[in-house]
């Protein structure tokens, strides 16, 4: 028979799937001999049964009853026993911590009788007993019965007046209980349940049901947590922090989650229950001060913290309660930390001999490394923090507050640096967002329009700063404490922390970037800025490089970018775009090409471009030495090099009406632009199609590449044909290119982008004509989803994130189910057809931490990304190799 309930003595920390995170760690601590109140855990399996079948499994209630009876025997009291009640807390705990789910109901077992028994237990402390009772009704009412918490808060506030909650007398609290019971009756039409077992039963079911609360569903979608895991429920004997001044409750970290340094970090609140610390209803005291209040508990806590850190081999965070001088551990888990702390802690633990370097690499993430590469506010500087919002897009931005896009554009045009402040943004704010250094909103979460677009632009953004009262019409916002910021006032926003500061905070460049810019070597004199951090990064990067299987190349198309890419550790160029080489002054030549009326004129335009192209390639080949350089032949539609249809039409129409003048060439261009105008240029004449329709265009590029390679000893060009959908297209171009290479005596691989679904679906055929594939996952994502990346800022995109249709933009992180399925299929079928086929990826996903692991898993040879993302990709590639067999890591 299935077992649905585990005593804390039966579990351990590896059973998170079954017992949830909280339950597994309570069991672990119990087995370590730490002072955990007795209790048991109802498994996620029971929850899953309830959610799918609509009822609890057979025998479930009996099993719970047996465990409760055992708990009662152990405690020598029965649940809600009138004269000497056992009270319990009911706490949810899923595998992954999940806001949006019901969390905790304390003090279950109290009713009008047992409250008197609690008075007795507490040595006549009737204030404590009634306080506990009102807390039960309040929490139960809110989380189990679904009553709006404001009703209770309002009644409590009315009673308190200006006093603190600890100032309330027992009689007052007793009256409050009656008031609260009235609220329950009024709001639900039923009395508050007096039966202790019924209280517990309802609370357990409420935890089960909360798995499917809308907020929980949304959160899971966004975080890509499977919808069918279910949650566990922990039933724990109550211990009380609210028995008087010899009691209290607190949270602690085994080391500083901000810096990683060892020491005493935490907060303590006397005479309080757990939720009071979080709610911030009274001021907490620093954990150190507990030594003064209760030396024995303090020493015991420190010893336990050391034991936990050595046991978990990582920073732990802890919840504890002291009941009349007795310490109880209520929760522990591996604690969150800042990016810098993550690197420091990982290497510190290596030095302490607690973990290996392998493990250290898996303890840090590419996202954390990326955060360390942004400029940040000077930690030493004086700062006036006025509010905090959500850290939507990292970076540190300083500028004058402006409240409209128009004003942002206007001031930016005058050379001013501005921060665009809006209640929320919409597509009309795009120009303002582009003009601003950073974006600040008072509404909307990490998937709001502002957040999504800012991340897409790499622009600093703090969103959802709800403490701010923004008035765009009055061009000002008000922060807590009455601070008013009006248009033109300078503010500073930290996109990595969500903090908002008044005035200019000095910004410092990233010491980690400086390290990478030096080619990833430490200063010989050991005087690196932020030396501890940089040395930690250095150790971890070296080990990641030593262990990774995936190569890392760069997307770079200038000698400067190529050189930087090399310094940052690129093992070649995976994507050298040739489009920019047709812009600027050369646009003129492209116009000649388009306007060419015959073979001769066209060839003349191409001949003029060839030496320029050759020079471009020489520069890049020199920068890359003997590393491979994959050059993509020209991809985008011709009209991108031409004037805009609407602008030119207006200009010509006005000239025709006698306003202004246009040249003959402008008129010719308008005809050409009209001819080339496409409804959907992304789906039009571009890539290989251009090469097949304009004779000589690709040949000119291939010749320039070959000639350049001849002049740079050791150069290793690779020629990449863009946007094929059928092997026949590739064959046609390949033949011409191979002939030119043979003629020049240059050796180069010829391969193709896989960026249309059809190229992936027919990869077996395509591989017959390609020596390498490079997945162009930007285009592939566009085609697979049927939406244009150019139009990502369109209204529907942020709406989709809000609706949870995707948790993250598929242009940021590779969509494994759709796009990824094609990548996998093409990899398998391409390799089957040509076993030595080289495989890479060169979409933006190549530098995205969440996507690099997929690339590793699917067996690609390399990822290619922008130079600044190279360290991130190297680290993630190392992590992927190290955690290959660790399916549990997320």
**Catalytic machinery residues:** 449, 842
Q: Given CA atoms 43, 46, 51, 55 in this order, what sign does their dihedral have? A: negative
Stretch that binds a second copy, among 20-28, 46-54, 237-245, 780-788 (CB under 8 A): 780-788
Member of 31, 174, 262, 788 binding a second copy (CB under 8 A): 788
Residue 824, interface with a second copy (CB under 8 A)?
no
Residues near 534 by beta carbon (within 8 Å), at least 6 away in sequence: 511, 512, 515, 522, 528
796-815 residues in contact with a second copy (CB under 8 A) are 796, 799-800, 803-806, 815
Cα–Cα distance for residue pair 74/520, rounded to 1 Å? 60
Q: What is the DSSP letter of 13?
A: G
Check binding of 558 to a second copy (CB under 8 A): no
Cβ nearer to a second copy, comparing 330 with 727: 727
CA dist 482 → 103, 485, 491 (Å): 34, 10, 16
Instruction: Judge contact between 722 and 730, C-beta under 8 A.
Output: no
Which of 443, 595, 668, 787 touches a second copy by CB under 8 A? 787
Across 618-696, where does the E strand assignment appear? Answer: 628-632
CA distance 133 to 630: 71
For residue 759, the minimal CB distance to a second copy (Å) is 9
Least separation in angstroms between residue 689's CB and a second copy is 4
Q: Is 179 exposed, middle or buried (0-12, 13-18, 19+ CB in 10 A)?
A: middle
Considering only residues 622, 667, 758, 831, which one is a binding residue for a second copy as defined by CB under 8 A?
758
Buried (b) or exposed (e) across 240-278, using 16+ Cβ within 10 A? bbbbbeebbbbbbbbbbbebbeeebbbbbbbbbbbebbe
In Å, what is the CA distance from 449 to each residue of 255, 429, 453, 800, 807?
37, 10, 6, 10, 14
Q: Which residues pair with 329 in a beta bridge?
A: 320
Q: Please name the residues in contact with 661: beta carbons below 8 A apart, sequence gap of 6 or more.
A: 655
Nearer residue to a second copy within complex by CB, 283 or 646: 646
Shortest Å, Cβ 793 to a second copy: 10
Q: Closest by alpha carbon to 404, among 363, 432, 435, 438? A: 432
Cβ contact 313:354 at 8 Å: yes
| Alpha-carbon distance values, 853 to 593, 857, 860, 868 (Å) | 43, 6, 10, 18
Please say which residue, 397 or 725, places its beta carbon nearer to a second copy. 725
729 scored as a contact of a second copy (CB under 8 A): yes
Q: Can residue 667 be called a binding residue for a second copy (CB under 8 A)? A: no
| Cα–Cα distance list, 186 to 134, 182, 293 (Å) | 16, 6, 43
Q: Does 148 bind a second copy (CB under 8 A)?
A: no
Measured from the CB atom, is 119 or 726 closer to a second copy? 726
DSSP H stretches of helix in 659-805: 664-676, 688-693, 697-711, 727-744, 757-761, 763-766, 777-785, 795-803
CB of 8 or CB of 806, closer to a second copy: 806
From 385, 761, 771, 833, residue interacting with a second copy (rule: CB under 8 A): 761
At its nearest, how many Å lie between a second copy and the CB of residue 146? 21
Q: Mask of contacts with a second copy, 388-417, x by CB under 8 A?
A: ------------------------------
Q: Return the residues of window 192-221 that contact a second copy according to CB under 8 A.
A: 221
Instruction: Write each residue from 23 to 62 as x if it is in contact with a second copy (CB under 8 A), else as -, in one continuous string.
Output: ----------------------------------------
**3-state DSSP assignment of residue 600:** helix
Residue 311 as a binder of a second copy (CB under 8 A): the answer is: no
Select 142 or 734, whichever has its Cβ closest to a second copy.
734
Which letter, b or e, does each residue of 717-750 get, where b requires 16 or more Cβ atoms within 10 Å of its Cβ?
bbbbbbbbbebebbebbbebbeebbeebebebbb
Spatial separation of the C-alpha atoms in residues 565 and 245, rounded to whole Å: 61
DSSP for residue 817 = I
Q: Is 755 annotated to bind ligand?
A: yes
According to the binding rule CB under 8 A, does residue 96 interact with a second copy?
no
How far is Cα 697 from Cα 243, in angstroms, rounded to an integer?
Answer: 84
Closest approach of a second copy to the CB of residue 595, in Å: 14
Binding residues for a second copy, rule CB under 8 A, total: 61
**Does 693 sit near a second copy (CB under 8 A)?**
yes
Q: Is 457 in the site for a second copy (CB under 8 A)?
A: no
Query: What span, in angstroms and rounded, lies between the C-alpha atoms of 643 and 641?
Result: 7
The single residue among 36, 642, 725, 860 that binds a second copy, judged by CB under 8 A, is 725
Cβ-based nearer residue to a second copy, 351 or 579? 579
Binding mask 424-453 for a second copy (x = CB under 8 A): ---xx-------------------------
Which of 150, 289, 601, 790 is in the footprint of a second copy by CB under 8 A? Answer: 790
Q: Is 776 annotated as a binding residue?
A: yes
User: Torsion angle of alpha carbons 98, 101, 107, 113, nearest 10°?
Assistant: -170
Per CB under 8 A, the list member of 171, 484, 615, 653 interacting with a second copy is 653
Determine if 524 is a binding residue for a second copy (CB under 8 A): no
Q: Is residue 380 within 8 Å of residue 506, measured between CB atoms?
A: no
> Does 226 engage in binding with a second copy (CB under 8 A)?
no
| Window contacting a second copy (CB under 8 A); options: 363-371, 550-558, 592-600, 675-683 | 675-683
Q: Which of 148, 351, 791, 884 is close enough to bind a second copy by CB under 8 A?
A: 791
Q: Per the annotation, where are the binding residues?
A: 577, 632, 755, 776-779
Q: Per the annotation, where are the binding residues for substrate?
A: 577, 632, 755, 776-779
> Which residues of this chain interact with a second copy, rule CB under 8 A?
221, 427-428, 645-646, 649-650, 653-654, 657, 659, 675, 678-685, 689, 692-693, 723, 725-726, 728-729, 732, 755-758, 761-762, 765, 779, 782-788, 790-791, 794-796, 799-800, 803-806, 815, 817-819, 821-822
């Amino acid at each position: 028979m299935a077992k649905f309930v585990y005593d804390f003595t039966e579990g351990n920390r590896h059973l998170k799937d079954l017992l949830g995170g909280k339950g597994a760690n309570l069991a672990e601590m119990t087995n370590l001999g730490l002072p955990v109140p007795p209790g048991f855990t109802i498994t996620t399996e029971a929850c899953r049964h309830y959610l799918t079948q609509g009822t609890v499994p057979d025998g479930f209630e009996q099993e719970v009853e047996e465990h409760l009876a055992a708990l009662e025997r152990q405690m020598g009291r029965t649940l809600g026993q009138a004269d000497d009640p056992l009270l319990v807390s009911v706490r949810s705990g899923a595998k992954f911590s999940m806001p949006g789910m019901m969390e905790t109901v304390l003090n279950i077992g109290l009713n009008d009788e047992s409250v008197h028994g609690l008075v007795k237990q507490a040595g006549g402390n009737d204030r404590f007993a009634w306080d506990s009772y009102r807390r039960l009704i309040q929490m139960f009412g809110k989380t189990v019965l679904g009553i709006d918490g404001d009703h209770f808060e309002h009644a409590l506030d009315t009673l308190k007046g200006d006093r603190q909650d600890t100032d309330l007398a027992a009689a007052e609290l007793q009256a409050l209980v009656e008031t609260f019971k009235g609220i329950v009756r009024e709001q639900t039409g039923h009395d508050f349940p007096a039966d202790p077992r019924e209280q517990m039963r309802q609370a357990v079911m409420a935890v089960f049901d909360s798995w499917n609360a809308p907020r929980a569903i949304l959160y899971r979608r966004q975080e890509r947590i499977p919808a069918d895991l279910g949650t566990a429920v922990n039933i724990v004997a109550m211990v009380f922090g609210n028995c008087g001044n010899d009691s209290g409750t607190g949270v602690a970290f085994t080391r500083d989650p901000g810096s990683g340094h060892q020491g005493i970090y935490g907060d303590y609140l006397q005479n309080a229950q757990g939720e009071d610390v979080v709610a911030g209803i009274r001021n907490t005291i620093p954990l150190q001060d507990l030594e003064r209040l209760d030396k024995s508990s303090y020493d015991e806590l420190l010893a336990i913290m050391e034991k936990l850190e050595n046991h978990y081999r990582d920073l732990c965070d802890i919840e504890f309660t002291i009941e009349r001088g007795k310490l109880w551990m209520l929760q522990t888990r591996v604690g969150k930390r800042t990016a810098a702390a993550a690197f420091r802690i990982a290497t510190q633990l290596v030095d302490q001999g607690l973990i290996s370097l392998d493990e250290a690499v898996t303890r840090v993430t590419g996202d954390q490394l990326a955060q360390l590469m942004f400029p940040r506010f000077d930690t030493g500087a004086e700062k006036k923090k006025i509010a905090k919002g959500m850290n939507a897009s990292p970076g540190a931005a300083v500028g004058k507050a402006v409240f409209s896009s128009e004003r942002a554009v206007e001031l930016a045009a005058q050379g001013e640096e501005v921060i665009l402040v809006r209640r929320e943004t919409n597509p009309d704010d795009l120009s303002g967002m582009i003009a601003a250094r950073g974006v600040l909103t008072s509404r909307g979460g990490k998937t709001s329009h502002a957040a999504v677009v800012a991340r897409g632009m790499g622009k600093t953004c703090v969103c959802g700063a709800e403490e701010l009262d923004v008035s765009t019409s009055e061009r000002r916002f008000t922060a807590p404490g009455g601070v008013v910021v009006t248009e033109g006032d300078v503010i500073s926003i930290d996109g990595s922390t969500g903090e908002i500061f008044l005035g200019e905070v000095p910004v410092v460049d990233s010491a980690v970037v400086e390290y990478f810019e030096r080619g990833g070597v430490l200063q010989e004199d050991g005087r690196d800025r932020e030396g501890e951090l940089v040395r930690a990064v250095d150790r971890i990067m070296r080990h990641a490089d030593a262990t990774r299987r995936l190569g890392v190349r760069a997307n770079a198309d200038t000698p400067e970018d190529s050189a930087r890419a090399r310094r940052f550790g690129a093992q070649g160029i995976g994507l050298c775009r040739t489009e920019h080489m047709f812009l600027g002054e050369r646009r003129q030549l492209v116009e000649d090409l388009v306007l060419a009326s015959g073979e001769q004129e066209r060839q003349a335009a191409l001949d003029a471009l060839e030496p320029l192209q050759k020079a471009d390639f020489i520069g890049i080949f020199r920068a890359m030495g003997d590393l491979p350089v994959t050059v993509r032949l020209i991809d985008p539609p011709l009209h991108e090099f031409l004037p805009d249809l609407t602008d030119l039409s207006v200009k010509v129409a006005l000239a025709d009406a006698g306003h202004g003048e246009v040249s003959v060439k402008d008129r010719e261009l308008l005809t050409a632009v009209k001819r080339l105008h496409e409804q959907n240029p992304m789906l039009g004449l571009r890539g290989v199609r251009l090469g097949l329709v304009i004779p000589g265009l690709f040949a000119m590029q291939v010749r320039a590449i070959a000639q350049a390679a001849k002049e740079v000893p050791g150069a290793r060009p690779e020629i990449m044909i863009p946007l094929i959908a059928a092997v026949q297209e590739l064959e046609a171009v390949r033949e011409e290119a191979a002939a030119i290479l043979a003629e020049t005596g240059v050796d180069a691989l010829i391969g193709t982008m896989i960026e249309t679904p059809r190229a992936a679906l027919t990869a077996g055929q395509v591989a017959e004509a390609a020596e390498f594939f490079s997945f162009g996952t930007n285009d592939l994502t566009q085609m697979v989803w049927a939406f244009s990346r150019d139009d990502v800022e369109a209204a529907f995109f942020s709406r989709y994130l809000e609706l949870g249709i995707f948790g993250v933009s598929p242009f940021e992180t590779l969509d494994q189910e759709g796009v990824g399925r094609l990548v996998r299929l093409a990899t398998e079928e391409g390799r089957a057809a040509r076993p030595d086929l080289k495989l890479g990826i060169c979409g933006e996903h190549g530098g995205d931490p969440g996507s690099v692991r997929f690339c590793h898993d699917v067996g690609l040879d390399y990822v290619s990304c922008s130079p600044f993302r190279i360290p991130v990709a190297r680290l993630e590639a190392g992590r992927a190799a190290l955690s290959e067999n660790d399916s549990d890591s997320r």
